[in-house]
Structure 1
Amino acid sequence: MENQALLERLKNIRRLLGLTQKEFGERMGMALTTWASIEQGRNALNERAKILLQHIYNVNPQYLEHGTRPAFLDPEVVAYNSMKASPRPKDEPFLEEDKDYNFPGQNVCNKGSKGEFNAFRIAMEYADQAEKMKSQKEVFRFPCPSCQEKEEEIRALRSNIHRLEKETEHQRRIIEFLMESGRPQDRNLNEPKP
């Protein structure tokens, strides 16, 4: 069972990004039930999921482990993590063993089948969505100067409208008062004054 604080941080990350459990898990290549069970503490958050969180959503690993802010890293910081580093000497025997096996999708460029093309298309869609999320995250992190100027203009216009409404109401009351006290209603306007 996972630490309750970690589970809350996982939920918080997903909610900050505005995603459902299904959308969040799908972008990481997980089934809905897998991510939901991780969030609820039934399954443990493994290293693969932590790396995917860092690469896909730019989640700060320190935030996951200890809750230190910021929750998200800049994309440039994520690009230099250990996943991009060259293999260490102790990894080389495993890499040599892997060369002998034929993994599915190993020769994607040579085959060109419909299924592999769909996988490529889906990967491109995820990349596009990640770019959109990065830009949206930046929009929410740093308010746009032109947006602040527009908000100030809107506030000024609203205060002017409110002031004009008060003046209009005051003038309407004056006109009503003058109409009631100035002339009798039954007198014709074209008649000369006595």
Structure 2
Amino acid sequence: MKQLVNEHRSFLLFLVKFLVFYLSMTGVYSFFLGQYNTQTNEVDAITTDVAKRTYDLLVFFNQEAVIQKHPSQPAYKVLFHQNYVARIVEGCNAFSVIILFTSFIVAFSSTWKKTIAFIFVGVLLIYGLNIFRIVLLTLGLFYYPKSKELLHDVVFPLVIYGVVFVLWIFWVFKFYNAKTKVNETE
């Protein structure tokens, strides 16, 4: 058993670091969400910020848009050219994607300086991309309402998870030096 553990030490270390960080951050995020009363339709601060940034981006592109609190759900309504086309709920804020991204980077951590810098840039990229995604989804739902399932359930998740995957690959091949890590453990 000891030989098996030694042979797969790098993988097991990655797995433990990933799971500990992922579960810890998910717990912290759940605690954060628990501060908001969804029974009274209270929306968390991250989702509120995403809604505000979505509005800012729509207005920046000179689009007629209104973001307003949903009267009967913990969400925001997106009104585009006076039509209710979408809603922004907690699941739209991409925070769970950010936790997944960060957990992988921490599990494959390099030097702390590089790791923190890459996480910071990656989180900003994912957060910004997510807002851009909501804007494009709003446009898509307005102009192509019959494509709702394709856009919301396939295209945009594929894009955001695709970017996360590319960031992971970039991290592993550009910043994480596996040979150095193996030599350090010997």
Same fold (TM over 0.5): no
Q: Which has the higher strand share?
A: 2
Larger Rg: 1
* Relative contact order, higher structure (CA 8 A, sep 6+): 2
TM-score range, shorter chain: under 0.3
